[in-house]
Amino acid sequence: LYKAHYLNILQLGDQLATGLGTAVERERRILLLAAVTLAASCVAAAGGIAFLGLIAPHVARRLTGPRHQTLIPVSAFIGAFLFLLADTLARNVLAPSEIPVGLVISVLGAPYFIYLLMKTN
């Protein structure tokens, strides 16, 4: 959220961002380092449920639009909701045994992800 303003400016393109006084390469490196560090720490703590990180921001962008000040928190809430839904399904579908949560997330998110891939081509 701290760098959301720079993300909005970088979304306009390199030339316009430079014209607005942003050090494009410097900001891009800082944001990339922050994204890689956060992603690595999340995967190290929670395991390989990275598919959720691909789906939640796309759903949030459809709901809120391109402004990162609202997109980032809504994306976090959607990701948390999808994880809670997947965990509930994983625990209750084949009770008393459990299905891996990553598998349930993939089953829930794959149709939307395939839709996004087909829509862009």
Report pLDDT digits (tens) over 18-73: 888 888 888 889 888 988 888 778 777 776 676 777 788 888 999 998 888 899 89
Pair 86, 98 in one domain: yes
Report pLDDT digits (tens) over 100-111: 888 888 787 778
Q: What is the DSSP string of 4-39?
A: HHHHHHHTT-HHHHHHTT--HHHHHHHHHHHHHHHH
The domain in which residue 77 lies consists of 48-121
Residue that has been written with the tokens 């959607």 in this structure: 78
Q: How many domains does the chain have?
A: 2
The CA-based diameter of the chain, rounded to the nearest angstrom, is 60
Q: Residues 24, 17: contact at Cβ < 8 Å? A: yes
Pair 99, 52 in one domain: yes
Pair 112, 60 in one domain: yes
**How many C-beta atoms lie closer than 10 Å to residue 36's C-beta?**
10
Pair 35, 54 in one domain: no
**Strands annotated E in the chain:** none
